Copies of this chain bind each other. A is one copy, B any other.
Amino acid sequence: MGPQPHGHVTLAQVATRAGVSAQSVSNALNNPERVAAATRERILAAVAELGYEPNLSARALRNRSSSLIAVKMRPARPDKASLLMDDFLYVLNAAAVDAGYHLILCHAEDGSAGEIKAYRDLLKKTSVDAFILAETHRNDDRVAALRSWGVPFASFGRSWDGDDGLAWVDVDGRAGTRAATEHVAAQGHRRIGHIGWGAESELGQDRRDGWLEACRERELETDLQAAVVDSLDAGRQAAHRMLDASRPATALVCASDTLALGVMRALHERGLRPGADVAITGYDDSPTAALVSPGLTTLRQPIDEVGRQLIQIVDNLMAGDLRQPAYALPQHVLLEPELIVRASSLPGPRTPVR
Chain A interface (Cβ < 8 Å from any Cβ of B): 1, 3-4, 6-9, 51, 53-58, 60-64, 66, 68, 73-76, 78-81, 83, 85-87, 89-90, 93-94, 96-97, 102-105, 107, 121-122, 124-127, 149, 232, 258, 261, 264-265, 267-273, 286-288, 290-294, 322, 325, 351-354
B126 and A57 contacting across the interface, CB-CB below 8 Å:
yes
A3 and B64 contacting across the interface, CB-CB below 8 Å:
yes
A124 and B83 contacting across the interface, CB-CB below 8 Å:
no
Provide the residues of chain B in CB contact with A353, threshold 8 Å: 271, 353-354
Closest to A232 in B: B291
Provide the residues of chain B in CB contact with A103, threshold 8 Å: 104-105
Closest to A107 in B: B97
Provide the residues of chain B in CB contact with A258, threshold 8 Å: 291
A54 and B125 contacting across the interface, CB-CB below 8 Å:
yes
Min CB–CB distance A169 → chain B (angstroms): 19
Provide the residues of chain B in CB contact with A76, threshold 8 Å: 86-87, 90, 287
A-B contact pairs, 21 of them (CB 8 A): A1-B322, A3-B63, A8-B127, A56-B125, A57-B57, A57-B58, A68-B104, A73-B89, A73-B93, A80-B287, A86-B89, A103-B105, A261-B292, A261-B293, A268-B351, A269-B351, A271-B351, A271-B352, A273-B354, A286-B287, A353-B354
